[in-house]
Structure 1
């Protein structure tokens, strides 16, 4: 799988997964986590997370049955803040995932009084970043993420 194919797959995967809100396709696991599976041709993703609040998880992309890419993430909504509006803007931001850096949302996105900001370094090969949601400049949500290619050469 090359970088271009991975980016196209991540865009499709994201729209069909959490951002798309198709919760009927989500699988509740025995360990209490939730999995959002997606398959397109020879590619498949396995987005598995715990939460509620706070939440954490990982997305693994496999090509022809072999894991090739991973992203791990952890985030929270501030105490006393209603989660529904926060996750509504988060899903809106994730639906606007940049095609050249398809691991979270755009640099900035606003819905009403809420603003989503996303800063990252790197490319789909190897990256890390932080997304924040503010209301009137008050931080109400924050998540960190990182990832990239896996198992490209021997080790361990």
Structure 2
């Protein structure tokens, strides 16, 4: 299972952090898909929306689904923050997190545009979490997520 956890971090870093764009032909009508493969693992992030969005990340091993995460994020205070700023803060924060070879656990990152805070309960096998950005101490962005192993 350690290889799965390592692949999750690798796939997240290899897609979102690498600035990959959504595939031309999505797996679901109206979705934006970003895929990554390495060896016997395949990762797909499929989402809807922009500033406010919902999606699912999934991983297959040898063609069998083994892990997934669902998420919903939104700008809470559009008068002080927007999707472009959120993207900048999140990208920098996640780059720092993935460099630690992990994607879960308590994590905070200060950026000139806002303070990124991630709180998680559990580990890659079963988890829930909240990702937030505070601007001048006030909530400006929030993402809720949960996921874990898929056992056939």
TM-score of the two chains, using structure 2 as the length reference: 0.88
Please list every run of at least 4 consecutive aligned residues from structure 1 whose deviation after the TM superposition is greater than 4 angstroms.
98-101
**Per the alignment, in what secondary structure is the counterpart of residue 16 of structure 1?**
helix
RMSD: 1.8
Task: Structure 2: give runs of 5+ residues left out of the alignment.
Answer: none
Q: Which residue of 2 aligns with 1:94?
A: 94
Aligned with 1:57 (options 40, 55, 66) = 55
Deviation at 1:19, TM superposition (A): 2.7
Deviation at 1:32, TM superposition (A): 1.4
Relative to structure 1, the CA distance from residue 62 to residue 9 in structure 2 (aligned partners, 3 Å threshold; closer, same or farther) is same
Task: Structure 1: give runs of 5+ residues left out of the alignment.
Answer: none
Aligned: 1:110 with 2:110: yes
Deviations 1:17-49 (A, max 9, x none): 1232122xx214362110000000000101100
Matches of 2:11 and 2:87 in 1, distance apart?
18
- Comparing 91-100 and 120-129, the one that deviates more: 91-100
Q: Which residue of 1 aligns with 2:131?
A: 131
TM-score of the two chains, using structure 1 as the length reference: 0.86
**Alpha carbons 2:55, 2:71 under 8 Å: kept:** yes
